[in-house]
């Protein structure tokens, strides 16, 4: 009888499509020491998005740079744990454009979530991966800017919802003091 953790484990190396913190070479060397880099590629019709952490989402007329790994089966359990598979992320086959043509690989896609900016440390981890692999950082910066803009818009809408509370006698700038 198979254990739950035995499902979705490959028996031979597979092509893994990384777009977030798993393009960071130091991080992947620790997590997936038996895997190796294949090269960079583009995923057409998808866009990098932050929901606190990275995911990619379908969007026509866009693309996202990725790092391709030959993922050794021995490294899959650690990668699945890191990705929160299957609860936070799911695995899906995706087509990538390489300099030698198209290929299919496995990608982790976030199951749900709302646009939210990444932490500075997380963004730096991805930035370091982009730089180390010669990837165009404009995609990363644009995705981060969209997340920060979205958060700012949400905060503004939240603040505006309290601007019309004069009829309730509420003060927007109530300060509280506690005595212990």
The 10s digit of each residue's pLDDT in 32-61 is 999 999 999 999 999 999 999 999 999 999
Q: Give percent of the chain above pLDDT 90.
A: 77
Q: Phi/psi class of residue 101: alpha, beta or left (left: φ > 0; alpha: ψ in -120 to 50)? A: left
CB atoms < 10 A from the CB of 100, how many?
8
In the numeric block, the tokens 């880099």 are attached to 37
Of 140, 3, 143, the closest CA to residue 77 belongs to: 3
The size of the chain, in residues, is 180
Of 39, 23, 29, 55, the closest CA to residue 128 belongs to: 23
Of 88, 146, 82, 161, the closest CA to residue 115 belongs to: 146
- Name the average pLDDT for the chain: 89
Whole-structure pTM value: 0.82
Tell me the domains of the chain and their CATH numbers. Answer: 4-156 (3.10.490.10)
Note the pLDDT tens digit of each residue in 117-144: 999 999 999 999 999 999 999 999 999 9
Cα separation, 43 vs 21, in Å, equals 17
Note the pLDDT tens digit of each residue in 82-104: 999 999 999 999 999 999 999 99
The Cβ-side half-sphere exposure at 23, using a 13 Å CA radius, reads 32
> In angstroms, what is the C-alpha Rg of the chain?
20
Q: Which two tokens stand for residue 118?
A: 């990444």
């Amino acid at each position: 009888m198979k254990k739950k953790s035995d499902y979705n484990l490959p028996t031979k190396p597979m092509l893994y499509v990384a777009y977030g913190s798993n393009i960071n070479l130091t991080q992947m060397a620790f997590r997936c020491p038996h895997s190796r880099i294949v090269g960079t590629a583009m995923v057409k019709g998808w866009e990098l998005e932050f929901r606190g952490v990275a995911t990619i989402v379908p969007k026509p007329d866009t693309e996202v740079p990725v790092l391709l790994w030959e993922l050794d089966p021995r490294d899959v359990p650690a990668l699945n744990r890191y990705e929160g598979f299957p609860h936070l992320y799911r695995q899906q086959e995706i087509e990538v454009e390489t300099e030698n043509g198209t290929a299919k690989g496995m990608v982790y896609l976030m199951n749900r979530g709302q646009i939210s900016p990444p932490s500075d440390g997380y963004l730096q981890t991805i930035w370091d991966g982009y730089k180390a692999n010669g990837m165009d950082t404009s995609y990363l910066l644009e995705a981060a800017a969209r997340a920060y803009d979205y958060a700012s818009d949400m905060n503004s809408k939240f603040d505006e919802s309290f601007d019309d509370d004069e009829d309730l006698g509420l003060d927007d700038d109530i300060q509280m003091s506690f005595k212990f």
